[in-house]
């Protein structure tokens, strides 16, 4: 269930601590065979790496701050920011609710998800 408790009447980034600039999310394919599952299990050994599934699409999440995020939580390269940053807007973002259907943090959670127990 989506947590809508923080959704204000008008959406905006002004009050946000720039949550989306503090992790890197990349689309990845669902692992198709034993080797790909093994590779993904290995990546999940690292405490900065997670995987999430949303609308049956898989994403890798790497925690870490963008080099252009200032101490004031503002983008220091706002006018030259990449397209992917321009496309990422509230309310379909980290601040305003759950942006994933399933979050996978460990190799065991990946095994459970693939076995239909997640």
Residues forming contacts to ligand SF4 in the complex (CB under 6 A) are: 13, 16, 18-21, 66, 68-69, 75, 77, 81-82, 85, 88-90, 93-95
> Coil, helix or strand for 75?
strand
Q: How far is the CB of 95 from ligand SF4 (least distance, A)?
A: 4
Residue 8 half-sphere exposure, CB side, CA atoms within 13 Å? 9
Q: Which is nearer to ligand SF4, 41 or 81 (CB)?
A: 81
Q: How far is the CB of 16 from ligand SF4 (least distance, A)?
A: 3
Q: How far is the CB of 4 from ligand SF4 (least distance, A)?
A: 14
Q: Which is nearer to ligand SF4, 20 or 110 (CB)?
A: 20
Query: Six-digit token pair at 100?
Result: 């994933």
Q: How far is the CB of 98 from ligand SF4 (least distance, A)?
A: 13
Element (H, E) at 114: helix 107-114
User: How many residues make up the chain in this entry?
Assistant: 118
- Select from 113, 112, 20, 3 the least CA-distant residue to 61: 20
């Amino acid at each position: 269930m989506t947590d809508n408790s923080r959704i204000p009447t008008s959406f905006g980034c002004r009050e946000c601590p720039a949550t989306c600039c503090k992790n890197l999310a990349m689309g990845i394919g669902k692992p198709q065979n034993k080797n790909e599952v093994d590779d993904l299990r290995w990546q999940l050994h690292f405490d900065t790496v997670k995987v999430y599934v949303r609308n049956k699409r898989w994403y890798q999440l790497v925690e870490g701050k963008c080099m252009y995020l200032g101490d004031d939580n503002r983008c220091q390269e706002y006018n030259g920011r990449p397209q992917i940053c321009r496309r990422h807007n509230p309310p379909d973002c980290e601040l305003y609710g759950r942006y994933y259907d399933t979050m996978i943090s460990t190799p065991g959670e990946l095994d459970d998800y693939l076995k239909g127990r997640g």
